Amino acid sequence: MKHRVEVSPRAKKQLFKFDKTAYLQIIQYLGEIAELEDPRTRGKELSGAMAGIWRYRSGDYRILCRILDEVLVVLVVDVGHRKDIYRRPG
């Protein structure tokens, strides 16, 4: 069963800050994740303080998500450039 992709308000705010090319690249990638039977096949689970968060790479950008299997949702919690995405307070 496929998961639905939802974007948190914080992630939406970040997305709208990107230029059009980066925005479209990330939206297209999120569409690809939504088509997967198991979203874990593409991403990587983070560890330490960010345990439970999954990371997806789209070019120089990172998409941080929580996978909620009980409701079949991939919740995008943050989006940003790879150089500073992990430095942000959660």
Domain ranges of the chain: 4-87
Q: What is the pLDDT of residue 86?
A: 79
Q: In the CATH scheme, what is the homologous superfamily, with its name and number, of domain 4-87?
A: RelE-like (3.30.2310.20)
Model confidence at 30: pLDDT above 80: yes
Backbone angles phi, psi at 18, to 5 degrees: -80, 160
Which sign does the torsion angle of CA 39, 42, 47, 49 carry? Answer: negative
pLDDT per position as a tens digit, 39-81 = 999 999 999 988 999 999 999 999 999 999 999 999 999 999 9
Q: What is the pLDDT of residue 1?
A: 79
Q: What does the mean pLDDT of the chain come to?
A: 92
Q: How many residues does the structure list for the chain?
A: 90
